[in-house]
């Protein structure tokens, strides 16, 4: 099958995006090295800003767009009745939207108008679509579902494909170019797995390592944090983790069904979340992670998991062993 050309050209930081110019971290986006989705790159070559594109959609129009996008996101991670265990609407997309909008509203207010109203709508769409057409694996080469855009091969990040797909879908719905560029940046910012993949590449041939993405602006940190925030209780977080580490294929290249390794993976994950909260607070300019309750929830779960790891919570240890032994029947 003929390969699709991946466009890299753009006007860069001199691009006039109208009212969106100061809200799209274009320099940061381009510094990550991902090429813009091909059709979007071509579109931006002749782009002219329009005031209408910085205004939010009417409640009715956005409600219709949202419904269509939810259905698209759901269908993108299902195949002939099979739905990805972890990266699906109910278990991952929906909580990511909830956490991301909680952060947005804490920073800007839920009744934001003009450009901020448009940004809130675009942020919601980006949060929802950030893992569309996920492969069921941190690395595309480990896919457990058919690949979207198979002509791109496997030496491409899952998030890069999600960005291309999201841009194509939203263009078909009439979503303006600045919105889509903003959304592409959010999706790229969610890139995860390169650190673990790098370890694999030390002893495996031809392991593709995604670009190391380290967001340094608020919107991109909002995406990264919302994507990684644990669920409301440790029990819920551990249930979800079984779907990630057993039902799908993590970047380490094998499923995790050993209790000690499972706990270790979760401890590293919660430590990573704490680092995200630190960077998020820095970019927000205040302790937004604490104010929204997200830091407290993660810290509490980290302490609870430490108690289990130290052998001080027999019930917790039995709970984890039960999860691993009963999977995939557990739901």
pLDDT at 1 (0 to 100): 29
For residue range 121-130, list pLDDT tens digits in order.
999 999 999 9
In whole angstroms, give the CA distance from residue 286 to residue 277. Answer: 11
Per domain, the residue ranges of the chain are 12-203, 229-331
How does residue 114 score in pLDDT terms, banded at 50, 70 and 90?
A: confident
For residue range 58-86, list pLDDT tens digits in order.
999 999 999 999 999 999 999 988 999 99
pLDDT at 13 (0 to 100): 56
How does residue 329 score in pLDDT terms, banded at 50, 70 and 90?
A: low
Q: Does 331 have pLDDT greater than 60?
A: no
298 vs 14, higher pLDDT: 298
Task: Find where tokens 């650190």 sit.
Answer: 195
For residue range 146-156, list pLDDT tens digits in order.
999 999 999 99
For residue range 169-186, list pLDDT tens digits in order.
999 999 999 999 999 999
Q: Does 26 have pLDDT greater than 60?
A: yes
Q: Does 193 have pLDDT greater than 60?
A: yes
Q: What is the mean pLDDT of residues 262-284?
A: 97
CB 182 within 8 A of CB 126: yes
pLDDT at 3 (0 to 100): 33
In whole angstroms, give the CA distance from residue 327 to residue 239. Answer: 10
pLDDT at 194 (0 to 100): 83
pLDDT at 196 (0 to 100): 86
How does residue 15 score in pLDDT terms, banded at 50, 70 and 90?
A: confident
**What's the chain's average pLDDT?**
92
């Amino acid at each position: 099958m003929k390969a699709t050309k991946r466009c890299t050209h753009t006007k860069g930081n001199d691009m006039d995006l109208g009212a969106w110019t100061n809200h799209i971290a274009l320099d940061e986006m381009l510094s990550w090295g991902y090429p813009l989705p091909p059709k979007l790159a071509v579109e931006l070559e002749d782009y002219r800003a329009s005031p209408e594109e910085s205004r939010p959609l009417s409640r009715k129009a956005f409600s219709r767009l949202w419904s269509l996008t939810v259905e698209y996101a759901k269908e993108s991670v299902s195949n002939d009745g099979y739905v990805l265990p972890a990266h699906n609407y109910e278990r991952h997309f929906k909580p990511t939207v909830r956490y991301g909008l909680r952060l947005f509203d804490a920073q800007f207010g839920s009744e934001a108008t003009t450009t901020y109203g448009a940004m809130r709508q675009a942020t919601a769409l980006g949060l929802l679509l950030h893992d569309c057409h996920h492969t069921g694996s941190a690395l595309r080469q480990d896919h457990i579902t058919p690949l979207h855009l198979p002509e791109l091969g496997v030496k491409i990040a899952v998030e890069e494909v999600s960005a291309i797909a999201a841009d194509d879908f939203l263009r078909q719905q009439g979503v303006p170019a600045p919105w889509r560029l903003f959304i592409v940046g959010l999706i790229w910012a969610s890139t995860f797995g390169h650190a673990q993949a790098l370890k694999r590449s030390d002893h495996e041939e031809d392991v593709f390592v995604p670009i190391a993405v380290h967001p340094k602006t608020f919107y991109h940190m909002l995406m990264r944090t919302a994507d990684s925030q644990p669920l409301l209780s440790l029990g819920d977080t551990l249930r979800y983790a079984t779907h990630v580490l057993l039902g799908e294929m993590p970047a380490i290249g094998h499923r995790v069904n050993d209790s000690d390794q499972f706990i270790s993976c979760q401890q590293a994950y919660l430590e990573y979340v704490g680092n995200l909260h630190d960077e998020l607070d820095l970019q927000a300019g205040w302790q937004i992670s604490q104010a929204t309750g997200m830091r407290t929830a993660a810290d509490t779960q980290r302490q609870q998991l430490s108690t289990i790891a130290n052998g001080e919570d027999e019930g917790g240890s039995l709970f984890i062993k039960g999860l691993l032994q009963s999977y995939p029947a557990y739901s």
